[in-house]
Structure 1
Amino acid sequence: MLTQLADTIQRHPKRLTALVAALLLGGGGGAFAVASFAPDPSDLPVREVLEAVQPLPLVEQAEALDTHRFNLFRSDLTRSSDTADTLLKRLGLNDAAAAAFLRNDANARIGLLGRAGRNVTVEASDMNELLKLQARWSPDDGGNFQRLVVEKTPQGFASRIETAALTASSRLAGGIIRSSLFAATDDARIPDGVAVQLAEMFAGDIDFHRALRKGDRFSVVYETLEADGEPLRTGRVLSAEFVNDGKTYQAMWFQEPGQKGAYYTLDGQSLRRAYLTSPVAFSRITSGFAMRLHPIMNKWRAHTGVDFAAPTGTPARTVGDGVVEFAGTQNGYGNIVIVKHRGADSTAYAHLSRINVRRGQQLSQGDIVGLVGSTGWATGPHLHFEFRVNGVYRDPMTIARQTEAVPVSAAARPAFDKLAASMRVQLSSAATVQQASAQ
């Protein structure tokens, strides 16, 4: 054995170095290592092998390319003016048979043609002929979406409409106010629905019509609802932070067991007040609660409410719970709805193009009372909104901020605090996104 070891060391001196290193690594603790006594790779013979490779003839390569087929995928949004031909042409397809099928298919008429804003994806052959078409839309605010599928089969085209579940995911975003909230959210590529929710969340603390300052900033975490991995519509704002004139406001969505969800500050105070600050979803004030030159009478007189500019047909909503006290026509008010609230409070919604409620009807905050119009003494479409206390006119823009907030219950506090801690982290991340996009 010793003779064999000595012979190995003599023929392979490099193995001696490895052996000594292994023994040294063993130390005095009884550990040991095993060194390899296989031949050193550098001592092994090297052999060069040359092999001639003949490429395929060019004719065979060209034939292989001719037989190869690949599919193309394209996506777009439908338009209300789309016909079968114009839609397929915009998607780069040239398929008369597919266009004829879409024109005559009942499912295509329901889910595709003449429907604006629907996500449509097509799979086409390399000859620009339709192989498969899918269109997706969400019919309501539920958790599902519908999918129109048109496929080419050996027997011709076939269609079906499927229902599947939307998938919710979170997105972080932020922006800086330079002129208006909508301009800032447009710059940050944030959907208008998120901007509206932001304005409504903080309406009790921030006057978005008059109190925004250049340099105000916001961060937001919101849901996006996806269909087959494609964003289909915006969901709920989960949390948000708004810095207005140097003061920070934060809010998050929380639902106590057995109750309706609501927005709370991160220390547990509800943002829901007895009255909303605006009867229309974020619009421009054209005339406030003050003396003004009447646009029709051309005389200075008190303006007893606030005018909100909005297109004809815009929904007008009650700012608080109550009962319809009057629904009809009154002199210069035109079509008007008056709602009786708690105590001596009442609100009026005038110049409506349509009235959606009747006298005696119970209403909850946010219910639609009618549609904006220009009936009565109005020079253009807008909503004239009044707030009355014991028949005395009050400035509607100050009422919402005077009502008290309600805290989260003690039973739900542990769950609330856990969620609030998570939302603080997400808002911090959203603020980082906003700062990065601003640079």
Structure 2
Amino acid sequence: MHSLQHPEPKPRLFARGSWPETSRITDILRKETVGGMLLLVATVAALAWANSPWSAAYFDLADVRVGTDALGLHLDLTLATWAADGLLAIFFFIVGLELKREFVAGDLRDPARAALPVVAAIGGMAVPAVIFVAFTARAGDGAVQGWAIPTATDIAFAVAVLAVISTHLPAALRTFLLTLAVVDDLLAITVIAVFYSDTINGSALALALLPLAAFAICVQRGIRAWWILLPLAVLTWAFVHESGVHATVAGVLLGFTVPVLHRISDDSAKPGLAEQFEHRIRPLSAGFAVPVFAFFAAGVAIGGLDGLRDALGDPIALGIVFGLVIGKVVGIVGTSALLATFTRASLDADVRWIDVVGVAMLAGIGFTVSLLIGDLAYESGTERDELVKIGVLAGSLISASAAAVLLRLRNRHYRAVAREESRDDDHDGIPDVYQREQ
């Protein structure tokens, strides 16, 4: 009698993850929704002020200098620079915590589950970069150096759009969007460190390693006293800023040092220091640091419809718009389809390719990091920097609008999936669908 052999289950793309991971990501996205709303308010306020009769006051405020060079660390900076170099370091500290959490205890620790968001993020950066280069290759005078501007995804803005259109995106797609954005942030900070840093001051960079190492030792030992950790973090940031490497890199490095798992038991079910820090600092990042950066970065004098038309006819602005709107969709959906073909995987039953297109459109909302890279590629306040702002705002608005229309059309299906994902007949706090899939 022959033994029955069960065929190996066919791999599925966008399959629902575990309940703890889904619950954690839902909590993160709920917090990002509030931050995204504040980001929208700050952006609208900056645009309104910069195009009002009082616009000179806005630009004068951005140019107010605060700080001192007395310590030899060149910290006499404008408010706009403090927002880009200082406040965004807080944002990238959260990015560092998220990255380490994903690689140690999240979806990215499993190579099979990590493959999709990693490949999609790479495709979603490569194609927009190629499109930008195609538009600017003949523009000359260093126009092509902004190639990385349309490669970024702003998760806070994307989640704010989801909240505004009231769509019930399935858990697997929400997880994919957040994980893709996290990988995107890792690649973006690598690009900034490698391609958009000034001449490196080796001595300052070596000095930065001392407080960074001390910070790492403290957090690994479970020390969480702010009066110890904060001065070490500030010193690390100051020396990295002085070294010529963009100061936001310091935030990621500090985040990487924080342990994810519980220090004593190494039990991933218990929150480690990284999760505790994230709960405390994320509100500061989402509620203050990023909106303030947006306020100073998004203000651009458009000059009416004629000025907008002229700006959007420039190769730099066109490269950004087409990179965000077309490049992100082609890159993310194309690489996902290639992965499905090569691995012979099928889409999860709750997901269709049109849903992947909608999420890819959301990923075309490139704001915070795109504006930061624009400042680095073309000096802040220059004509090209203004073109970057217009291109990023226009591309993000088009992507958001297209995603809103498409996802709203699919919202009836999403509501049915959401009801299934939230059903808890045994009232144990864990939806039944997650228990069936264990």
TM range (shorter): under 0.3
Larger helix share, 1 or 2: 2
TM-score normalised per structure 2: 0.23
Larger strand share, 1 or 2: 1
Larger radius of gyration: 1
